[in-house]
Amino acid sequence: MPSAFSLPIGKSERIGLTCVIIFLIPFCLIGIVMAVMSVNELVDANWEAGAFLGLFATVFGGAGFGFLAMVFVGRTRMRKELELKSTYPAEPWKWRGDWSTGLSRSETKHTMFFAWGFAVVWNLISWPILYFLPSEILEKENYLALIGLLFPLVGIGLLVWAIRETIEWKKFGQSIFRMNSVPGVIGGTLEGIIDVPSSFAPGQGFDLTLSCINRVRTSSGKSSSTSETILWQENRSGVNSLARPEAMGSGIPLQIGIPFDCQQTDSTDSDNSILWRLEAHAAVPGVDYHSRFEVPVFKTSTSKPAQPGKEIIADLPPGYQPSAESGITVGIGPTGGTEIVVRPKRAVSAILSVIMFFLVWTGIIVLIAYLGAPAFFLIVFGAFDLLFLFILLQLSFGESRILIEADVVTITNSIAGLSFRDILQPSDIEAVKPSIGMQSGKSAMYSVMLKRRGGKEARIWVTLKEKRDAEWLAAELQRQVASRRI
């Protein structure tokens, strides 16, 4: 078997590493030169010039040597991963050393180091702006320079974030998720225990969330962006920790079923990957507990497809009723039949997020119009602005009514007085399923989809915060529709 140091790396990877190293070498050289000049100035008692040059030496040298170290560490990891891939070609969950032993360590420590690194670099770059601002504002009366104050203010916010992450690390330590079996199974379960070094028992228990995420990285010119879309998500609230001696810390049990139609972990394309993320949260005095793990979830020989008619995986307790926030009511329609009305309590956080995004986007449109941008850009940006407005109105005033009669199902979605109607035949409805309607931060919000024969869909536009409520609504609609087919 080839060693980790003799295993070849592909030509494209070698070219990429070489380009990165060539790009970083000038930063390292500038850092060294600036450091030497800074020392010379300080020796000559030119404190201001020496400090200024030292600042640039720290920024350029730190960035150059820091990223260069990351490149070589990444190269070693790449070789080890290639070795594991050649050893276990059909078992991708063994391509990571921790996963192969049934462990996944929380990202708390890495997040803390990243927060400090980002905060230090940002502040080193932004705070020197304050040296130039007084002359620009007071002497040259360039009041637009006041915008420069935003950069140090952002730096203060980043420092607060880094300090908070440090407090959380000191308070709870690094949690480890120990899987009962590896990997988590699509069409099966993910089971295990989250071990927390600190011993504590939150009054409301722990909230656990397992998410399947599609991470997409897009590039445009010299800039790139990364987005994460939740494809599937499951929550467990009020989970109690295991009874343990205080010296053993806290243990949080986990068992979550995973539907057969979910996508498995896939990182073969770094620009379009599938990852599974487990998060644990608990409200405690001071800084709350929060940990995040990346876990392996795959289809294996033990994966079981859903039975026909059992597509809705819902661990609903017997007699479960929708929460008050869901606003779901079942009654008699105006012309007979069963009418289900969905008028949920408004998600204030989601509404505020959309309002902020809508205002910022509108401000951008006003700015580019003021600068005389071509009409094409105004039309494209304006179309997106209308979409954000539509989402805002739907979150603030949306309502859905489903009238199920003997020979027809009528879905009426209303937004601020405007109504949109879908009419279906009970015999034409092939399936009723909960689905992710939209995403608010790291949390999914759910709607219900009715699939017609032939593939067309009708959807309830109103979104529900709790997945259990959407599952209950889908199951109730499925039951009502099935009874009309008899």
Quick: pLDDT tens for 269-303.
888 999 999 999 999 988 899 999 999 999 998 88
Statement to judge: residues 377 and 403 lie in one domain: no
Statement to judge: residues 204 and 227 lie in one domain: yes
Q: What is the pTM of this model?
A: 0.72
Q: Is 312 contained in some domain?
A: no
Q: Is 328 contained in some domain?
A: yes
Statement to judge: residues 143 and 219 lie in one domain: no
Total domains in the fold of the chain: 4
Burial class from Cβ neighbours inside 10 Å (0-12, 13-18, 19+) for residue 322 reads buried
Statement to judge: residues 436 and 367 lie in one domain: no
Residues 132 and 151: beta-carbon distance below 8 Å: no
Statement to judge: residues 144 and 50 lie in one domain: yes
Q: What are residue 315's phi and psi, to 5 degrees?
A: -90, 55
Statement to judge: residues 337 and 480 lie in one domain: yes
Statement to judge: residues 338 and 413 lie in one domain: yes
For residues 342 and 279, give the distance between their C-alpha atoms in angstroms, rounded to a whole number: 30
Q: How many CB atoms lie within 10 A of CB 99?
A: 21
Q: What are residue 91's phi and psi, to 5 degrees?
A: -130, 75
Residue 258 has pLDDT above 70, yes or no: yes
For residues 476 and 351, give the distance between their C-alpha atoms in angstroms, rounded to a whole number: 28
Of 169, 193, 225, the last residue of a domain is: 169
Q: What 3-state DSSP class applies to 218? A: strand
Q: Is 308 contained in some domain?
A: no
Residue 220 has pLDDT above 50, yes or no: yes
Statement to judge: residues 481 and 332 lie in one domain: yes
Statement to judge: residues 31 and 151 lie in one domain: yes
Burial class from Cβ neighbours inside 10 Å (0-12, 13-18, 19+) for residue 172 reads buried
The pLDDT tens digits of the residues spanning 355-404 come to 888 888 888 888 888 777 788 888 888 888 888 888 888 888 888 999 98
Statement to judge: residues 385 and 440 lie in one domain: no
By residue count, the chain amounts to 486
Helix axes 375-397, 348-370, angle to 10 degrees: 160
For residues 270 and 52, give the distance between their C-alpha atoms in angstroms, rounded to a whole number: 39
- What's 438's domain CATH number? 2.30.29
Statement to judge: residues 64 and 162 lie in one domain: yes
For residues 292 and 98, give the distance between their C-alpha atoms in angstroms, rounded to a whole number: 15
Q: Is 303 contained in some domain?
A: no
Q: Long-range CB contacts (< 8 A, 24+ apart) of 436-440? A: 436/230, 436/231, 436/232, 436/233, 437/461, 437/463, 437/464, 438/350, 438/391, 438/463, 439/229, 439/230, 440/347, 440/349, 440/350, 440/353
- What's 190's domain CATH number? 2.60.40.640
Residue 136 has pLDDT above 70, yes or no: no
Q: Which of 250, 239, 242, 426 is nearest to 315 (CA)?
A: 239
Q: Is 311 contained in some domain?
A: no
pLDDT at 5: 31
Of 393, 420, 452, the last residue of a domain is: 393
For residues 304 and 316, give the distance between their C-alpha atoms in angstroms, rounded to a whole number: 20
Q: Copy the structure tokens of residue 179.
A: 């899987």
Residue 163 has pLDDT above 90, yes or no: yes
What single string gives the DSSP state of each residue in 280-343?
A: EEE--SSSPEEEEEEE-EE--TT--PPPTT------PPTT----GGG-EEEEE-BTBSEEEEE-
Domain assignment of residue 350, given as a range:
346-393
Mean confidence (pLDDT) of the chain: 83
Q: Copy the structure tokens of residue 374.
A: 């071509």
Q: Is 314 contained in some domain?
A: no
Average pLDDT over residues 27-55: 82
Statement to judge: residues 370 and 422 lie in one domain: no
